[in-house]
């Protein structure tokens, strides 16, 4: 009898472990940065080429990456959802593929997926079964293998004029009548930095000293990640409505109907210079350079970096090298300046340099610039994270000296961008069109530099999703605006200024605030992380920012609640405490109205 009890207990333990493996493959994480084989290294390199945030994570916080899922997804170019599990190549994942996997289980093989080795690690094991199970009964097209990207010899870049000090921007001596937005079509310039912290604005000598601009002190990103945020900025829609929930889902963005196409149809000359959407050139699984509808000038990054990168110029890929004149912020800045100097009105410029995204490399002329003091807020290397979700509790503390240097370098990187913004505004003034041009300065998302021990973005805290946002609106005096703002509001604002309609925006126009109003009619700001492809070890969450409160619900069942008026650095999670029960319940109700309605199948 005891023997049967032991057998039953052992069977139960094994079955429980198997279920845990399916829920969290990291429990048996066979792939680490130290034991990658050559095929896996190539898959990771491909992932980094398509998604620049992937390389940033590898460099700074690899413990937040699920390498198993990343490798599987980038081994098969046909589908961003991962290697299909189709062993016999008939386009369907079914029982025949399972038989092939079972016949080769625990064997070392060389035939890859044809032998049931779906993650191509040379062994048929439980991870391959997980791939098959996740895709069971799905139909896949025949994969098209993409040729490996090759770097061509560096071409001589277009020479950039000497970066001499920019003349001061001075008001004219003659007082002119106050302009009106109704007099002429308005020009619009959107300057979109990358991964810029809210507190870094003060380190930009020009932008940090703007008087007469509207400064939004409580602006948030719906998803604190590059591609979802940029899709939202161009559509006015939440990520769950654009379909771009992470950096691997650019193909769901509606390139046929968005802010650029609506402006173009209205008669605007449109130009995009710099960063577009992550992996835009690879959305079909094969590298393809094209110009999306709506853009007259199309100069996006393909390989993105500060040196040794490439841009689309005249419809073809042009490579830049590592000379000082190749520094990408300067190259795209010069292109933006040329656009301003020559473009026909009305125009829309979408200027998106790479600063201050990692790798953190300042322009050579700023490599030693003094940007002190470097000050960390109380959330830096948060000591007591016992009130935080488990994924935060598992993070280590970070070296203070290293993070000080990271922050110093980020500040130096923004100096080049700051110079080009000043040149652009001077060019608008020289053309005598500054007073009929709206200028919006913002970033896609912030970046946590070891705040709450997190060295990345995507987190639900202000260090990840609070944005610098300034608007030069020449028709009203500038002021600080403390109303809650979302990056979903940018496209509706531009649309109203230009007199166009957008397709089902979730955001609200900020024009009423620019004209003096103090409130917007909304329940709160939605923040979100879908973790669709499970390549990050950060659990999916939904959250709401309303009044002074931030409330977050994680897929793990954990909850967070912060009173931002008394706890601006989000150090004390008061969720589930009895004195906050009523507040939490109200926020949960409001959050439920912002989340999409999911209809369960019968």
* Per-residue model confidence (pLDDT) at position 172: 35
Say if CB 48 and CB 70 are below 8 A apart: no
Which residue ranges make up each domain of the chain?
31-134, 187-522
pLDDT band of 287, cuts 50, 70, 90? confident
> Is the model's pLDDT at 346 over the cut of 90?
yes
pLDDT band of 154, cuts 50, 70, 90? very low
Query: Which residues neighbour 4 within 8 Å (Cβ) at sequence distance 6 or greater?
Result: none
pLDDT band of 209, cuts 50, 70, 90? very high
Q: Is 144 helix (H, G, I), strand (E, B) or coil?
A: coil
Q: What is the DSSP letter of 588?
A: H
pLDDT band of 109, cuts 50, 70, 90? confident
- Going by DSSP bridges, is the β-strand pair 437-443/187-193 parallel, antiparallel, or unpaired? parallel
| Higher-confidence position of 381 and 137 | 381
Residues 164-188 have a mean pLDDT of 54
Q: How far is CA 307 from the centre of its chain?
A: 21
> Is the model's pLDDT at 135 over the cut of 90?
no
Give the chain's mean pLDDT. Answer: 84
Which whole-number Å values give the CA distances from 588 to 217, 406, 492, in the listed order?
Answer: 25, 37, 27
> Is the model's pLDDT at 158 over the cut of 50?
no
Residues 557-586 have a mean pLDDT of 97
pLDDT in tens, 35-55: 677 777 777 777 777 777 777
Rounded to 5°, angle at Cα 415 from 413 and 421: 120
| Beta-sheet strands, E only, within 212-259 | 214-220
Sheet containing 559-563: which strands, arranged edge to edge?
525-529, 541-546, 549-554, 559-563
**Which CATH superfamily does the domain covering 187-522 fall into?**
Alkaline Phosphatase, subunit A (3.40.720.10)
Distance CA 547, CA 23 (A): 36
> Is the model's pLDDT at 14 over the cut of 70?
no
pLDDT in tens, 215-228: 999 999 999 999 99
Rounded to 5°, angle at Cα 354 from 479 and 452: 70
H or E stretch at 559: strand 559-563
pLDDT in tens, 542-559: 999 999 999 999 999 999
Burial 3-40 (b: 16+ CB within 10 A, else e): eeeeeeeeeeeeeeeeeebeeebbeeebbeeeebeeeb
| Higher-confidence position of 140 and 198 | 198
* Among the ranges given (22-26, 270-274, 579-583), the one the predictor scored with the smallest mean pLDDT: 22-26
Share of the chain above pLDDT 90, in %: 64
Distance CA 294, CA 256 (A): 8
- The first and second tokens of residue 67, run together, are 């390498």
> Is the model's pLDDT at 453 over the cut of 90?
yes
Say if CB 160 and CB 330 are below 8 A apart: yes
pLDDT in tens, 294-333: 999 999 999 999 999 999 999 999 999 999 999 999 999 9
Residues 427-438 have a mean pLDDT of 97
* Per-residue model confidence (pLDDT) at position 108: 83
Say if CB 93 and CB 137 are below 8 A apart: yes
* Per-residue model confidence (pLDDT) at position 420: 98
Which whole-number Å values give the CA distances from 499 to 264, 378, 428, 438, 490, in the listed order?
Answer: 12, 44, 22, 14, 14
């Amino acid at each position: 009898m005891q023997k049967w009890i032991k057998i039953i207990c052992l069977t139960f333990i094994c079955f429980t472990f198997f279920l845990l493996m399916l829920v969290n493959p990291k429990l048996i994480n066979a792939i680490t940065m130290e034991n990658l084989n050559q095929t896996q290294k190539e898959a990771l390199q491909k992932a980094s080429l398509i998604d620049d945030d992937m390389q940033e994570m590898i460099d700074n916080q690899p413990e937040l990456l699920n390498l198993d899922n990343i490798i599987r997804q980038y081994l098969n170019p046909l589908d961003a959802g991962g290697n299909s599990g189709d062993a016999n190549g008939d386009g369907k994942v079914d029982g025949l593929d399972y038989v092939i996997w079972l016949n080769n289980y625990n064997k070392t093989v060389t035939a890859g997926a044809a032998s049931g080795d779906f993650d191509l690690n040379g062994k048929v094991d439980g991870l391959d079964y997980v791939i098959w199970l996740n895709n069971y009964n799905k139909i896949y097209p025949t994969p098209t293998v993409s040729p490996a990207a090759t770097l061509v010899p560096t071409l001589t870049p277009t020479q950039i004029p000497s970066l001499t000090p920019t003349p001061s921007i001075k008001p004219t001596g003659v007082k002119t009548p106050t302009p009106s937005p109704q007099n002429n079509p308005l020009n619009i310039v959107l300057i979109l930095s990358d991964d810029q912290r809210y507190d870094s604005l003060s380190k930009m000598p020009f932008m940090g000293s703007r008087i007469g601009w509207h400064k939004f002190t409580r602006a948030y990103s719906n998803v604190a990640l590059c591609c979802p945020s940029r899709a939202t900025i161009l559509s006015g829609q939440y990520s769950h409505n654009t379909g771009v929930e992470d950096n691997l889902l650019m193909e769901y963005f509606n390139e046929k109907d968005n802010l650029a196409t609506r402006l173009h149809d209205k008669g605007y000359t449109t130009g995009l210079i710099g960063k577009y959407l992550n992996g835009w050139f690879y959305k079909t699984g094969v590298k393809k350079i094209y110009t999306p509808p709506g853009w007259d000038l199309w100069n996006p990054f393909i390989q993105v970096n500060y040196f040794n990168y490439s841009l689309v110029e005249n419809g073809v890929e042009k490579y830049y090298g590592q000379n000082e004149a190749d520094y990408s912020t300067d190259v795209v800045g010069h292109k933006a300046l040329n656009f301003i100097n020559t473009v026909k009105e009305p125009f829309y410029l979408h200027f998106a340099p790479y600063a201050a995204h990692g790798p953190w490399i300042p322009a050579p002329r700023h490599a030693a610039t003094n940007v002190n003091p470097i000050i960390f807020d109380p959330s830096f290397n948060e000591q007591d994270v016992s009130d935080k979700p488990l994924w935060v509790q598992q993070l280590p503390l970070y070296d203070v000296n290293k993070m000080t240097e990271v922050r110093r370098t980020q500040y130096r990187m923004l100096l080049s961008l700051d110079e080009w913004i000043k040149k652009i505004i001077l060019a608008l003034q020289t053309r005598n069109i500054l007073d009929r041009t709206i200028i919006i300065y913002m970033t896609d998302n912030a970046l946590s530099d070891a705040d709450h021990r997190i060295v990345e973005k995507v987190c639900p805290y202000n260090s990840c999703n609070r944005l610098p946002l300034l608007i030069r609106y020449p028709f009203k005096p500038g002021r600080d605006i403390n109303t809650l703002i979302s990056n979903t509001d940018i496209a509706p604002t531009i649309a109203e200024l230009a007199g166009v309609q957008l397709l089902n925006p979730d955001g609200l126009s900020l024009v009423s605030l620019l004209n003096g109003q103090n409130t917007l009619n909304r329940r709160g700001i939605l923040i979100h992380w879908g973790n669709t492809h499970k390549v990050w070890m950060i659990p999916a969450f939904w959250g709401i920012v309303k009044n002074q409160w931030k409330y977050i619900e994680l897929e793990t069942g954990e909850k967070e609640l912060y009173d931002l008026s008394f706890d601006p650095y989000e150090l004390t999670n008061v969720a589930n405490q009895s004195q906050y029960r009523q507040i939490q319940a109200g926020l949960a109700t409001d959050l439920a109205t912002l989340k999409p309605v999911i209809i369960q199948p019968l």
